[in-house]
Amino acid sequence: MTTTTINVSGMTCGHCEAAVKEELGALPEVTEVSVELNPGATSPVTITSTSELDDAAVRAAVDEAGYEVK
């Protein structure tokens, strides 16, 4: 198992958190996503996966949810 932490900006509520979790959780190798929501600031997102994640795929998933990796 591999754990990766990214910082995501723009999330302000539980709906935002759920959208990011859904998009990242859809990546094939992802087994768990947890978010430490910091409304109005960057929020750390921890992703557990079975192998190293492709940075471009992670950024694309967060972008699809409507947010930005910092």
Per-residue model confidence as pLDDT tens digits over 4-61: 999 999 999 999 999 999 999 999 999 999 999 999 899 999 999 999 999 999 999 9
> What is the reported pLDDT for 40?
84
Rounded to two decimals, the pTM is: 0.93
In this prediction, residue 70 has a pLDDT band, given cuts at 50, 70 and 90, of very high
In this structure, are residues 13 and 1 in contact, taking their beta carbons and an 8 Å threshold? no
Give Cα 25 to chain centroid, integer Å.
8
In this structure, are residues 45 and 5 in contact, taking their beta carbons and an 8 Å threshold? yes
Q: What is the DSSP string of the chain?
A: -EEEEEEEES--SHHHHHHHHHHHHTSTTEEEEEE---TTS-EEEEEEESSPPPHHHHHHHHHHHT-EE-
In this prediction, residue 63 has a pLDDT band, given cuts at 50, 70 and 90, of very high
Return the CATH fold of 2-69.
Alpha-Beta Plaits (3.30.70)
